[in-house]
Amino acid sequence: MLTHRFQFLVGIDLGRWLHQACVLDANGELVAEKGFAHSREGLSETVTWLLSLVKDPDHLAVAIEKPHGAVVDTLLARGLAVFAVNPKQVDRFRDRHSLSGAKDDRRDAFVLADALRTDGHRFQRLQLPPPEIIALRQLLTARFQLIKLHVALSSQIQDLLIQCRPHLLSLAPRNRPLDSFFAELLELFFDSQPRPPAPDEIRALIRKHHIRRVKLEDILHVLQQPSLQLASGTLEALSAHLAVLFPQLKLVRRQRRDVDQYLERWFAEIQRDCPPHQPSDNALLASLPGVGALVLATLLGHAHDAIRLRNRDALRSLGGIAPVTKQSGQRRQVLMRRARSQPLAYALHHWAAIAVLRDSHFKHHYQRLRRKGHHHARALRGVMDRLLSLAVAMLRDRSFYDPSRFRKRAARTT
């Protein structure tokens, strides 16, 4: 319990425009309640009110569900101790006080404060990340949204083509969003109505994108095929709709490319400006096989606290590597973890796949898992488990990745 250190425990239930705060003493007695607006004045006034309850800010602790945002930043900037409580845990703690399922903002704020009083040692204290980590996290969020938008626009264009010219989709890459070549070809085709684009224009496009999967003759043959027989005006309406989507897709592709280029420059600076006698965490992680700009940025942006604390278990849970075991009596079930950071899970999967291709040790480990009967994704999670253990050990010992150690160990065992 945290009662030996903190005199007052505060729970803050977040709303969209109005938040609710509840203050308890070390014995669990209600001290005060307050609702405050989501504004600069409301946050500042509430923090001042909380600090007026104690002589020393170190005697005040705050529990909150969302581990980031304006409220958390304001509290941390004023020197208050802030602890993150998972919403699923709050739902379980609520059952301590009411089994009816009743829920409101005041009750949730009280539950948060009381949970911090009784189980505060189980929660992680938050810290303000460095400004570069905040910027990196926001950039990754923007990239993730651009990817979803790219997929959505590609699906819309494919659906419209199915309605009028399905034969054009034979030129598209399979099981992928529209690539830049096919998108520019479609834009050129629909801009040059009623005739298909000239062979010289298509040849220049092929040369620009280094396309080898289709030939010029095949492209011209597909483009010259007529559209489906549609009602009067339908083809023109669908073509106009497509003409609206093509500039959006081009903009999203360009913005996504700009973000990736920025991450590549950032990664190159890390590798170039690394002093060997005093390496940073970034440089140590960058030395691991399979770690590139996107993987490293996602690790730092979505698992900064776990890396800072060298917490392997937290990394495994956040990335979905740690399995969920359910056991009762003689029944035991091991499931893949679904509650995870999706961007981090994607990055770890990609990291493991590249490490298997680039490093012989992890390739042998992957093959050993496959021989045991594990499918591809399960074997990659096993490789990722070993990579995370290695990364934490490297951060703790301040040492770069050295593949010769595995070769020496293999030589000793043989």
User: For the whole prediction, is pTM greater than 0.75?
Assistant: yes
**CA–CA separation, 293 vs 288, rounded Å?**
12
| pLDDT score recorded for residue 49 | 93
DSSP per residue over 128-142, as a string?
Answer: PPPHHHHHHHHHHHH
Fold of 8-125: Nucleotidyltransferase; domain 5 (3.30.420)
| pLDDT score recorded for residue 1 | 47
Q: Which of 63, 59, 66 is nearest to 12 (CA)?
A: 63
**CA–CA separation, 389 vs 321, rounded Å?**
12
Contact status, residue 131 vs residue 88, Cβ threshold 8 Å = no
Q: Is 341 helix (H, G, I), strand (E, B) or coil?
A: coil
Cross-strand pairs, 32: 23
| pLDDT score recorded for residue 324 | 87
| pLDDT score recorded for residue 4 | 54
What are the sequence ranges of the domains in the chain?
8-125, 135-256, 281-326+336-413
| pLDDT score recorded for residue 344 | 93
Q: Which of 7, 213, 254 is nearest to 113 (CA)?
A: 7
**Residuewise pLDDT in 10s, the chain (414 residues):** 454 578 899 999 998 899 999 999 989 899 999 999 999 999 999 999 999 988 888 899 999 998 888 899 999 988 899 999 988 888 888 888 877 777 788 999 999 999 999 998 888 888 888 889 989 999 999 999 999 999 999 999 999 999 999 998 888 887 776 788 888 888 888 876 656 788 898 899 999 988 888 888 999 999 888 889 889 889 889 988 998 999 999 999 999 999 999 999 999 988 777 676 778 889 899 999 999 999 999 999 999 989 998 999 999 999 999 888 888 888 988 888 888 889 999 999 999 999 999 999 999 999 999 999 999 999 999 999 999 999 999 999 999 898 887 666 655 554
Phi, psi of 390 (to 5 degrees): -65, -40
| pLDDT score recorded for residue 193 | 65
| pLDDT score recorded for residue 192 | 63
Contacts 24+ apart (CB under 8 A), 46-49: 46/19, 46/21, 47/74, 47/75, 47/78, 47/80
The dihedral sign for the CA sequence 167, 171, 174, 180: negative
